A and B are shown apart, each in its own frame.
Chain A
Amino acid sequence: MAAGAQSASLEDIATRPGRDTLRSSVVRWTFITVSLLFLAALLLAPLATVFVTALEKGWRAYIQSFADPDTAAAIRLTLITALVVVPLNTVFGLAASWSMAKFEFRGKSFLITLVDLPLAISPVISGMIYVLLFGLHGWFGVWLQEHDISIIFALPGIILATMFVTFPYVARELIPLMQQLGNDEEEAAITLGAGGWITFFRVTLPKVRWGLVYGVILCNARAMGEFGAVSVVSGHIRGLTNTMPLHIEILYNEYNFVGAFAVASLLTLLAVVTLVVKTLVERTGYRRR
């Protein structure tokens, strides 16, 4: 909240002379100290641990842990999953926000609630519903087995579960943003003879670009880091169906702490990059609602 007359005046009030009595400065420093201690214990210590443990045995051991073929396979699988899921959910988010923000129709708010539904559901349940459908004893289990199609304990199941978990991220950024920005420019473009796609690419997309970036990076972070839902459908087959978070679990349970935290350090860096991009987007003036 750097610029803007409003925040400047707020800071004026906060630092007005005469207000800072001994008591109020004691209160101030108590609040700041308590906040920082709490965050240091809960947030900073675990973050630092990731890198300290990963580098415990030096850089060579750290680099070496990525030479393990199973680790490389896990990284590849995570990238493939994100490469499929993020574009699909982005297209969905754009379609959903166009239909729900540009038009008035019955049952709209109900539909928006349904889009948000996956956020309220435990990751374990998100994975389980696909096992109930496609697992060996699930609704379509026998049929799938007869036709030699594997979804559960294979890539399609991992993709489906990840898609479910990250389903709302792009849509829920774009719907309120498009509603707030209104339809005037789009209506003008259409009235002046532009086609629907031209209007979308030349008018709407530039208007909502920061919201889109925001939604996509959050979607990507969650897609690469999802553990619970993927854990249920993956079957934990080393080198085949282990994503990075699942591989972390296996390495950790084998007491291979350097290996586990080396993989974890990559995901932590991803989270840091996500937060940096998010902060940069917010600096353009884009605010979450």
Chain B
Amino acid sequence: MAIKQPSVLPGFGLTFGFTTFFLSAIVLLPLAALVLMTASMHWSDFVRVVLSPRALGSYRLSFGASFLAATINLVFGFIIAWTLVRYEFPGRKLIDALIDMPFALPTAVSGIALTTVFAENGWIGAYLHPLGIKVAYTWIGVTVALTLIGLPFAVRSVQPALLEVQRDLEDAAETLGAGRVYVFRRIILPTVLPALLTGFTLAFARAVGEYGSVIFIAGNLPMKTEITPLLIVIRLEEFDYQGAAALGFVMLVISFVVLLTINLLQTWGRRRLVVGGR
């Protein structure tokens, strides 16, 4: 049984061996520890931990705020990508480079900076506070932090897809009397839809697990402004390893489902492109 196809290049054994060894030692074995720790729990204990009111409250905030943030990113990611691809204006290249800032900026930094800006006496918070909008230490703040974290995923997914939109089709449609909304709905949206959904899913996946930028701006009140990753940290600090592992396991399963969704979306997008380019 030939596992590897023959090649004149050397070094397969060495590099493959090193790769799998390193991968197993750093990633796979530790992850297996999480699964084993969860599996060693009694089923009723697992259910009690995972469905406790405090855990349910944290899911509601984590997933709710992540969903909201990903939706905001879906809309503004499209607008920003469109602006960067279609329009020429001073500072465009700078803005384009700046989009990746949340990737490069440590989450603790964005956390304290956002909190300062959106606090009652902050640059933006001071204007929102008289309107009765409290951002810092509420679920709105959590959503703001998760929006910042997810933004590059949304913009960078949509940008290449927008470049693919065939401009001559748009022109042809307009010449034939189609309105702007019609052109958007029938030509632009179908081309960028898989990319939009991929960007949404990536932003959502990143937001659900986010910790650093959220804990500063969230009030961290149980049931109200406590995200699931924080609850895991609290359990670990109480040396309740099983409780932490169970919650981690739930998040891991959800991450896998999201990852699978991304793969399916990308396959779908590629197939559509092939059919479209026939």
A residues neighboring B (CB under 8 Å) = 10-11, 13-15, 27-28, 31-32, 34-36, 38-39, 41-47, 49-50, 53, 92, 95-96, 98-100, 102-106, 111, 114-115, 117-118, 120-125, 128-133, 135-139, 160, 163-164, 167, 183, 186-187, 190-191, 195-196, 199-200, 218, 221, 224-228, 231-232, 244-246, 248-249, 252, 257, 260-261, 264, 267-268, 270-272, 274-275, 278-279
Contact = CB atoms under 8 A, between A and B. Distances in A.
A183 B27 contact: no
B11 A261 contact: no
Contacts of A271: 101, 104-106, 109
B229 A120 contact: no
Given A114-B23, A249-B108, 9 more contacts: A10-B167, A45-B124, A103-B16, A122-B248, A125-B232, A129-B31, A132-B245, A139-B36, A232-B233
B268 interface: no
A132 B117 contact: no
A111 B8 CA distance: 22
B216 A252 contact: yes
Given A45-B124, A183-B9, A267 B105 contact: yes
B131 to A, nearest CB: 15
A164 B27 contact: yes
A128 B239 contact: no
Interface string B61-77: 00000000000000010
A12 to B, nearest CB: 10
B241 interface: yes
12 contacts: A44-B98, A47-B113, A95-B14, A99-B16, A103-B9, A124-B229, A139-B36, A227-B107, A231-B211, A257-B116, A264-B108, A264-B109
Contact of B9 (A32, A136, A187): A187
Contacts of A195: 10
A163 to B, nearest CB: 6
A136 B239 contact: yes
Nearest to A106: B3
B233 to A, nearest CB: 6
A248 B26 contact: no
A190 B31 CA distance: 39
A179 to B, nearest CB: 14
B89 interface: yes
Q: Is the interface of B mostly helix, strand, loop or mixed?
A: helix
Given A46-B113, A53-B116, A121 B26 contact: no
Contacts of A34: 76, 79, 83
Interface of B: 3-5, 7-12, 14-16, 18-20, 22-23, 26-31, 33-34, 36-37, 76, 79-80, 82-84, 86-89, 95, 97-110, 112-114, 116-117, 122-124, 144, 147-148, 151, 167, 171, 180, 205, 208-212, 216, 229-230, 232-233, 236, 239, 241, 244-245, 248, 251-252, 255-256, 258-259
A208 B27 CA distance: 26
Contacts of A272: 104
Contacts of B34: 125, 128-129, 132
Contacts of B29: 133
A147 to B, nearest CB: 19
Contacts of A183: 7, 9
Given A35-B80, A232-B233, A275-B100, A98 B15 contact: yes
Contacts of A270: 104
Contact of B233 (A13, A92, A231): A231
Contact of B241 (A92, A132, A187, A261): A132
Contacts of B108: 225, 227, 245-246, 248-249, 264, 267
A253 B45 CA distance: 35
Contacts of B122: 49
Contacts of A279: 97
B18 A42 contact: no
What are the 9 A-B residue pairs with the smallest beta carbon separation, nearest first? A225-B106, A122-B209, A46-B113, A227-B212, A228-B211, A129-B30, A99-B15, A271-B104, A196-B10
B104 A35 contact: no
Contacts of A122: 208-211, 229, 248, 251, 255
A122 to B, nearest CB: 3
A32 B88 CA distance: 9
B170 to A, nearest CB: 10
Kindly name the residue among A14, A102, A115, A228 whose own CB sees the greatest number of chain B CB atoms within 10 A: A228
Given A114-B27, A138-B241, A225 B112 contact: no
A120 B248 contact: no
B112 A252 contact: yes
A199 B110 CA distance: 44
Nearest to B116: A49
Contacts of A268: 105, 109
Contacts of B258: 120
Greatest chain A CB density within 10 A among B11, B23, B104, B210 is at B104
A14 B132 CA distance: 43
A270 B104 CA distance: 8
Contacts of B148: 42-43, 46
Contacts of B87: 14, 28, 31-32
